[in-house]
Structure 1
């Protein structure tokens, strides 16, 4: 899979030596993009090593420099109330491994997506996820768009940055021969450009807060870890709603909105306006474009590939219809 990298264990042990003597290395499954390895040290401490191959040949434009973004965002969110792991080591030199490497402390808890929880527990966790979003959105960013300079997808305004993001995914689709409704997308961008201008301050938007990226203490029923910040955008906070429910065209989850509001967040207020509703559909349009193109770029196969593309295309049509284009 694109971005994944199989490291020589001896070289990996040498890279981790500043953190201690490595006792075991265990590949962690589940990642569709990067490779993650669980490292246990002789003193009993544990870390997670994340690697993305240096070869960008099968990456979307927005994914260039993506692991550097992860390390940067973990640092930005430290102390914000968002429970992110501490970065212990990075290596972007590509001298020992043909990959970028970020090493973080091991998080407690279990992946939310792996737990069998009743409805009450799910409702409570979604409300807490809304509070996590509110905490992240209070962290200010220096500009709009993707943080990594390698992507070239940033700007002084949200209209400028978002326009580049949309143009990039359309260009990726053309490069990989993925049929996209480019004329309708460009018409939507032109029709709602002034709506984008209403976003005047870039927030830290995780943009991938689905249950697979959230760690939970099942006993206390609370969120104890947030991972995979590499797709973070400095953006309109509404983009987090699209990222949390990537395959949904339904109204935003009321529990997430309630949790955000209770924590002093801005999402409910933004959605109370016509401009906010339009921007939510623009965010969903963009996310659907990413999902459609990545099926080809990442060479997904089997039933998941069919389901992913079919669902994303249907949601793309819904968003464009709601935008009047």
Structure 2
């Protein structure tokens, strides 16, 4: 791998050191130090495409696209794209090289929930989300995948793809219940008429903060972004939670409807989708460790809570 990394970064400089970064479950990521002392981040997509969910193909290309859109928006705090290699000749998969961000991941910062630094980081997260959602796409859907002129059609297709993935890998999901609530509530998706850029995965591991002040310094991993409903990001920032963000996130974001019947229904639909993703991916990725079964149980329980809420809303 060192030879491939050396070749990838050669246009930027001579590789002096490479450190494999852990924490992600999709791409393989290295922190590379060049001979002149500059540090960059090299991210490579999985080579086993048969272990990917349908929407996960070409995710690094989507990430590069989002970073490109953010290049003229410094308030989005995203790294700069330095190089891309989508030729799949140096490596059998796509590669993306970006600038190295300062700070530490919020998940590793050690702040308590009532720590003022947590509040500052969450307020900054809300502000970043509001700015991100100001970017409008040409249609609804994945930047490098299927798109549609309506959010109803696009989101329905996302759910259908996930149910197909579940069937492909024999993952037991309540498909009939999912289809029933989709049929019952599809009309509320028509309330979304602007395809905003949605990060979808802005949890604490993808936020970089100043460990002393809690100031938000960087935002990474928009590989799973789509053009859609901004409310989906209020689920993505806390995948296992039940509240649409924290008071600090909402304060940083500004006015947003989370209480109307339409908003509450859409939030539950997005929780349902995210739970399906987390349930299904366990099998093709062959996740291992003591954490897997408790995780599966928690995600399954959260899915059924969302489905129950949707039945009640119906």
Category of TM-score, reference length = shorter chain: over 0.9
1:98 to 85, 92, 96: 92
Distance 2:207 2:186 in 1: 33
Cα offset, 1:142, TM superposition: 1.4
Kindly report which structure 2 residues correspond to 1:105-254, keeping only aligned pairs within 5 A, or say none. Answer: 105-118=99-112, 119=114, 120-149=116-145, 152=146, 154-250=147-243, 252-254=245-247
CA contact (8 A) 2:7 2:90 kept: no
1:312 to 295, 299, 306: 299
Structure 2 equivalent of residue 290 of structure 1? 277
Structure 1 equivalent of residue 267 of structure 2? 280
Q: Is 1:48 matched up with 2:41? A: yes
Distance 1:258 1:145 in 2: 28
Cα offset, 1:103, TM superposition: 0.1
CA deviation vs aligned residue, 1:7-53 (integer Å, no higher than 9, x gap)? x2112212211101111111112221111111111111110000013
Q: TM-score, normalised by structure 2?
A: 0.95
Cα offset, 1:77, TM superposition: 1.8
Structure 2 equivalent of residue 38 of structure 1? 31
Distance 2:278 2:236 in 1: 11
CA contact (8 A) 1:60 1:294 kept: yes
Distance 2:294 2:170 in 1: 19
Distance 2:4 2:308 in 1: 52
CA contact (8 A) 2:26 2:46 kept: no
Cα offset, 1:272, TM superposition: 3.0
Q: Which runs of 5+ in 2 are unaligned?
A: none
2:95 is paired with a residue whose SS is strand
Q: TM-score, normalised by structure 1?
A: 0.92
Distance 2:183 2:61 in 1: 32
2:97 is paired with a residue whose SS is strand
Cα offset, 1:155, TM superposition: 1.3
Number of positions where the alignment pairs a residue of Structure 1 with one of Structure 2: 309
Cα offset, 1:126, TM superposition: 1.2
CA deviation vs aligned residue, 1:83-134 (integer Å, no higher than 9, x gap)? 0000000001111211110000110111111111242221221121111110
CA deviation vs aligned residue, 1:183-228 (integer Å, no higher than 9, x gap)? 1111111111110001000111110011000100123421111011
2:94 is paired with a residue whose SS is strand
CA deviation vs aligned residue, 1:296-321 (integer Å, no higher than 9, x gap)? 12111232211221111111111111
Task: Pick which of 87-96 and 244-253 moved more.
Answer: 244-253
